[in-house]
Amino acid sequence: MAFFRQATASLRLATRPSVTSLATPATTSHFHSSALRLALSTDARKKIDAAVSANPLVIFMKGTPDLPMCGFSRAVCQIMEVQGVKPDSLKTYNCLDDPELREGIKEYSSWPTIPQVYVNGEFVGGCDIMLSMHQSGELEQVLEKAGVLQPLPPPSQQQAQS
C-alpha cells in the first residue's frame, strides 16, 4: 500500500446522496465534435477540481448509489455503506451522463478505470484499492480522518446491539 501512495502522491485524491452531472451543452457538444479527444478541457478540469475540493468524499462512478450500472461501482458504494459513511458527506457523479467526464476523469487522475474515489481533494483509487484498504482497516482510518464517518453508538448501546 505504501508503494501505491508514493506512486500516486502527485495525483489528485477523492462519495452519495446527490448525483450530479458535470455536463453542459458546451462541453457535450464539443466532445461530440472531437471524438478522439485526448486532452481534458480546461473547463472540465476546473469542474472536476471544484467537485473534489468542495466535498470531503467524492465518487466518480457508473450510475448512482441507488442504481449502480457496474459491479465495481456497486462494490465501492457497498464498501462506503459498510464503513458507515454519513450520506451527506458523500457526493457522487454519474460518468455515464457525461461523455467528457467519463474520459476526462481518467486523464485527470491518471487512473484508467471508473469508479474513482477522492477524499479531501486527493485521489485514493478505484474499486480494487478501496477493497484492499477496507480489508486492511486503512480505509476506516482515512475516512475517519476526513470526518465522513457516522459516530459510533456509545459502548452501552454497542453491547445491547450484540
Distance CA 140, CA 121 (A): 17
The three-class DSSP label of residue 8 is coil
pLDDT-derived band at 120 (thresholds 50, 70, 90) equals: very high
What percentage of the chain exceeds 70 in pLDDT? 72
Q: How many separate domains does the chain show?
A: 1
At residue 18, does pLDDT exceed 90?
no
Strand order in 122-125's β-sheet?
A: 18-20, 90-94, 57-61, 116-119, 122-125
Residues 94-116 have pLDDT tens digits of: 999 999 999 999 999 999 999 99
Q: Where are the alpha helices (DSSP H) in 1-154?
A: 2-7, 25-33, 42-54, 71-83, 99-109, 127-136, 138-146
pLDDT of 152? 77
The phi and psi torsions of 31 (rounded to 5 degrees) equal -60, -45
pLDDT of 34? 43
Residue range 46-50: average pLDDT? 94
User: Which structural domain, as residue segments, surrounds residue 10?
Assistant: 2-161
- C-alpha to C-alpha distances, 51 to 16, 56, 99, nearest whole angstrom: 13, 10, 17
Write the CATH number for 68.
Answer: 3.40.30.10
pLDDT-derived band at 67 (thresholds 50, 70, 90) equals: very high
Query: Is the pTM higher than 0.85?
Result: no
